[in-house]
Chain A
């Protein structure tokens, strides 16, 4: 088994003696530390996530408590610096609390789909011809639906709600992740170091764990990060249509839909929830780009 460690030093970089060439992941980390754009994007994401996580402290008002007297105040109103919505609820507080649901509904489907789809893709990649055909043809069928159409159709049938949004988006993202994983796995499978491991009679599971998984993980990670951006836009879109999170919960897509009625009264405030979505999804896209160039990965998607 020592052979394997030499062939693929990236697995346990901590155990490498100092004289050895530096591990892959350490090189990636170094590149990321010198990439100012990615660092900045990571900082912005950290701020957004902590605002959402510590919403009770960051919010200035109760996100659900409205008042008719202060309906549709413009940006810059004392006490309500981002204005108020159509029932007089504070926009800033609702944006902060809304980040919780928007982020959860955006990130969870990608996490779930990456786990399920990654597993299926690995299986299809290392498995025999029959297993590969079986998995990939089913995936082809789901891939034949435009993602927005599939998400809306599933959510439309099973009904609105946070759980249903996550479920439908997970189904949507499994197919593309299986495709990416399968193509990465089949590329790696024929490489010499995998052949060497197989020749040394390593069990299949060990080969997957030590040779294939470390090599395909980077690609899957980069792809999944870019999917988070799409997922956030889609989940907010579902709420926007009334198929996702239900009122009066604060959620960015839902807020956008509710404020749409008041664009003639208060146009700037009506655009604010969208700004939150744009910033978050832009950050995840840039993060994916940064990871991609740091890991030196070429993906065909």
Chain B
């Protein structure tokens, strides 16, 4: 197990290094100086040069990268070229708001998905299987930004029972029913995709496990069907866990569209704003942090899998 952990840690460090290169290099996909887009063309050359020196854009690319990496490793993502505020601080508070949506959405999506998938697999071929499978594939095929709009239309416009957008309070974890009301629609919207993916995945995994001999043996032994389901689900857990990890990462990185629909001040909207302001340090920082989160979640899932299933420890 120790060897496996060491191997996975080394791998993760390498991946994180690659991720940092991509996040940094992204902005240099367009030729020219990143400041050119930001400054008006009639800006005097002395000002341009001064700003270039200030942000370090006058140095060779690899030096810029090393300087950036050095700062990032000490937790400093630089300052926004638009607002002059510290990226780290702003990003953390935005990320907190995103987690307020992503974690409940993940829990809801995983619970619903596992339930639907298990029901579908155990009633394989019967109408209940069809119903559950249809719900799962709909969750998968629905653009969540559209589902958000549709939910707003139904609950905020037609019935007028829930707020259409915004976060209500000052951000962070909600403390009152008022603030929770603002969360309901975005969380429901975000939980759809994990619900669909997990549902389909659990269904096929459980079906595969049911084709083994041990569930029949357990039944023949006289075990109650509830216990049989438990044993089957335990075997379905490792692959389901892997997919859940991926999905949680997608919820963090992919919430940008849903946050736009609900005007939610999370990391996605933070990044969207940075794109339209051409705010390079913010964009680089957000991409790096969100992708690193994704990598670390996957590491955690791999280790958890190895803990549950010793066969995974190659």
- Which A residues fall within an 8 A CB radius of B? 137-138, 140-142, 144-149, 152-154, 156-159, 229, 233, 236-237, 240-243, 253, 256, 260, 263-264, 267-268, 270-271, 273-274, 277-278, 281-282, 285-286, 289
Q: B26, A240: Cβ atoms under 8 Å?
A: no
Contact status of A157 and B294, CB under 8 A, knowing A229-B141, A241-B256, A285-B137: no
CB neighbours (8 Å) of B18 from chain A are: 137-138, 140-141, 144
Q: A156, B275: Cβ atoms under 8 Å?
A: yes
* Interface CB pairs A-B, < 8 A, 25: A137-B18, A144-B295, A145-B19, A145-B294, A146-B253, A146-B290, A148-B250, A148-B256, A149-B287, A153-B271, A153-B287, A154-B26, A156-B275, A156-B283, A157-B27, A157-B283, A229-B141, A240-B260, A241-B260, A256-B145, A267-B153, A267-B157, A274-B147, A277-B143, A285-B140
Is chain A's binding surface mostly helix, strand, loop or mixed?
A: helix
Contact status of A267 and B158, CB under 8 A, knowing A146-B250, A148-B250, A148-B254: yes
Which chain B residue has the least Cβ–Cβ distance from A229?
Answer: B141
Contact status of A145 and B22, CB under 8 A, knowing A267-B157, A271-B149: yes
B146 interface hit (Cβ, 8 Å): yes
Binary per-residue interface labels of chain B (236-269) against chain A in the complex, 1 for a CB within 8 Å, 0 otherwise: 0000000000000110111011001100000000
CB neighbours (8 Å) of A138 from chain B are: 18
Q: Which of B267-311 contact A (CB under 8 A)?
A: 271-272, 274-276, 283, 287, 290-291, 294-295, 298
Number of A-B contacts (CB under 8 A): 132
CB neighbours (8 Å) of A264 from chain B are: 157
Q: B26, A146: Cβ atoms under 8 Å?
A: no
CB neighbours (8 Å) of A286 from chain B are: 137
B150 interface hit (Cβ, 8 Å): yes
Q: A243, B275: Cβ atoms under 8 Å?
A: yes
Contact among A145, A233, A267, A268 for B143, CB-based, below 8 A: A233
A234–B256 CA distance with the chains assembled, in angstroms: 12
A253–B260 CA distance with the chains assembled, in angstroms: 13
A260–B276 CA distance with the chains assembled, in angstroms: 20
Q: A144, B29: Cβ atoms under 8 Å?
A: no
Q: B250, A147: Cβ atoms under 8 Å?
A: yes
Q: A149, B275: Cβ atoms under 8 Å?
A: no
CB neighbours (8 Å) of B27 from chain A are: 157
Q: A263, B149: Cβ atoms under 8 Å?
A: yes
Q: A281, B146: Cβ atoms under 8 Å?
A: no
Q: B149, A274: Cβ atoms under 8 Å?
A: yes
B15 interface hit (Cβ, 8 Å): yes
- Name the interface size band of chain B: 35 or more
Is chain B's binding surface mostly helix, strand, loop or mixed?
A: helix
A282–B135 CA distance with the chains assembled, in angstroms: 11
Q: B152, A263: Cβ atoms under 8 Å?
A: yes
Contact status of A148 and B257, CB under 8 A, knowing A141-B19, A243-B275: yes
CB neighbours (8 Å) of A263 from chain B are: 149, 152-153, 157
Q: A146, B249: Cβ atoms under 8 Å?
A: yes
Q: A152, B271: Cβ atoms under 8 Å?
A: yes
Contact status of A158 and B253, CB under 8 A, knowing A256-B145, A263-B149, A270-B153: no
CB neighbours (8 Å) of A140 from chain B are: 15, 18
A241–B254 CA distance with the chains assembled, in angstroms: 13
CB neighbours (8 Å) of B150 from chain A are: 271, 274
Contact status of A274 and B140, CB under 8 A, knowing A141-B19, A263-B149: no
Contact among B26, B30, B153 for A271, CB-based, below 8 A: B153
CB neighbours (8 Å) of A229 from chain B are: 140-141
Q: B149, A260: Cβ atoms under 8 Å?
A: yes
Which chain B residue has the least Cβ–Cβ distance from A299?
Answer: B204
Measured CB to CB, the closest approach of chain B to A267, in angstroms, equals: 4
B229 interface hit (Cβ, 8 Å): no
Q: B254, A149: Cβ atoms under 8 Å?
A: yes
Measured CB to CB, the closest approach of chain A to B122, in angstroms, equals: 20
Measured CB to CB, the closest approach of chain A to B172, in angstroms, equals: 23
Q: B294, A240: Cβ atoms under 8 Å?
A: no
B142 interface hit (Cβ, 8 Å): yes
B184 interface hit (Cβ, 8 Å): no
B173 interface hit (Cβ, 8 Å): no
CB neighbours (8 Å) of B249 from chain A are: 146
Which chain A residue has the least Cβ–Cβ distance from B28?
Answer: A157
A260–B272 CA distance with the chains assembled, in angstroms: 18
B138 interface hit (Cβ, 8 Å): yes
CB neighbours (8 Å) of A141 from chain B are: 15, 18-19, 21-22
Q: B149, A270: Cβ atoms under 8 Å?
A: yes
Q: B26, A256: Cβ atoms under 8 Å?
A: no
Measured CB to CB, the closest approach of chain B to A141, in angstroms, equals: 3
Q: A271, B146: Cβ atoms under 8 Å?
A: yes
A159–B31 CA distance with the chains assembled, in angstroms: 12
A158–B141 CA distance with the chains assembled, in angstroms: 28
CB neighbours (8 Å) of B145 from chain A are: 237, 240, 256
